Structure 1
């Protein structure tokens, strides 16, 4: 059962939608040509956006073969391919704002949107990079908006090393760029603590999964 979302007292006052990017974005350069940008609280009205997405997205459960057995993917998924209408106007505004800010550097727009619903602390995603498609061989960007209760996003160099932790929720934005998908891995670990639900929205360019 999905736990109830505890709203943020900071998510008040502004008109719903993306706030300013520009100088509010904080970039951290990592090893091996990777970098991340952080913009806390980027989406105003993020808690309401969580509630709408939880209700209207056609969430699906998936199973995957691991070794000799089939296991359930520990989260619910949604995907909007290039040209598909997004489920909420705020996501259209967010994608447009990300493209206005990042397309000159990226050289192309964000085109697809993947969504993950982490219902509670039992849901997670294991260490990985987005290396299906061009992310395996090319520098690219993946922009992730988190709405709902904060969950830690962990990053570490591929092959092991010091782990970085970012607690993301209530409209926070993180963008992973440069070689990040090839040379670093990221994960959302399980939690034994009582944890509210979270939705992550991942915007990617064409041919990156």
Structure 2
């Protein structure tokens, strides 16, 4: 069984790509163990997360377009006593760089309109990761380079292409708690996840490798200034 992205009948009925309106934040009834779609799920230590399935509709061709037009970059990183390839391709767009597609620019504007007042500033930068197949991944981390290490902030991620699971776990776990215990957020094409409050410094997230995934996925990360 694979999870390669395929356009749905529902998406094919959409005349042109469009973003769903994001509702005002409401608290999830189930709590952290049962994160609710579209609801804000409070986490420990002042963190929270929102999941908005199918935020972007009718953009079936966008992953292929970005794959072909973005100047993806392969990175290498020192790990222990050797230099290894980072298992994904990346591209970061700073505030003054033109974005690679009008839908990415529109998403940036819509997120700023929805969360800017709460955040106290707009989203300004866009990072992108291309996961070529299930062997590409990102290890446990928080976006805490810069202001995210000491300040509350937000990071919004739009998932495009093949479905992958984002895992989220607290950095500090109770004595005796299993380190592998985590929240699971399956992210399909067009889904949006927003992590806010203290999430980047008190929690960590990852995209694990998967033998069940054969298709590519692109992660689009929207961040405010000074957060990486």
In the alignment, what sits opposite 1:6? 6
- Give deviations 1:168-198, integer Å, cap 9, x for gaps: 0210000000000010000000012243111
In the alignment, what sits opposite 2:21? 20
Unaligned 5+ segments in structure 1 are none
Query: Equivalents in 2 of 1:119, 1:74: separation in Å?
Result: 9
Residues 35-54 of structure 1 aligned to structure 2 (within 5 Å)? 35-54=48-67
Higher mean alpha-carbon deviation, 13-22 vs 61-70, is at 13-22
Contact 2:139–2:207 (CA under 8 A) maintained in structure 1: yes
What is the TM-score when the length of structure 2 is the normalising length? 0.86
Cα distance, 1:92 vs. partner? 1.0
Query: Equivalents in 2 of 1:96, 1:154: separation in Å?
Result: 27
Cα pair distance change 1:71/1:41, threshold 3 Å:
same
Query: Equivalents in 2 of 1:46, 1:187: separation in Å?
Result: 25
Residues 64-83 of structure 1 aligned to structure 2 (within 5 Å)? 64-83=77-96
Residues 114-133 of structure 1 aligned to structure 2 (within 5 Å)? 114-133=127-146
Cα distance, 1:5 vs. partner? 4.0
Query: Equivalents in 1 of 2:4, 2:48: separation in Å?
Result: 34
Query: Equivalents in 2 of 1:201, 1:194: separation in Å?
Result: 19
Contact 2:5–2:189 (CA under 8 A) maintained in structure 1: no
- Give deviations 1:3-52, integer Å, cap 9, x for gaps: 97433333233331312112483211111100001110000123211121
Contact 1:12–1:44 (CA under 8 A) maintained in structure 2: no
Query: Equivalents in 1 of 2:117, 2:157: separation in Å?
Result: 19
Report SS of the residue matched to 1:7: coil
- Give deviations 1:143-184, integer Å, cap 9, x for gaps: 000010110000000134530001102100000000000100
Residues 1-209 of structure 1 aligned to structure 2 (within 5 Å)? 5-14=5-14, 15-23=16-24, 25-160=38-173, 162-209=181-228
CA RMSD of superposed structures (Å): 1.6
Report SS of the residue matched to 2:73: coil
- Give deviations 1:91-138, integer Å, cap 9, x for gaps: 111111101000010000100000000010100000000010000000
Aligned residues: 207
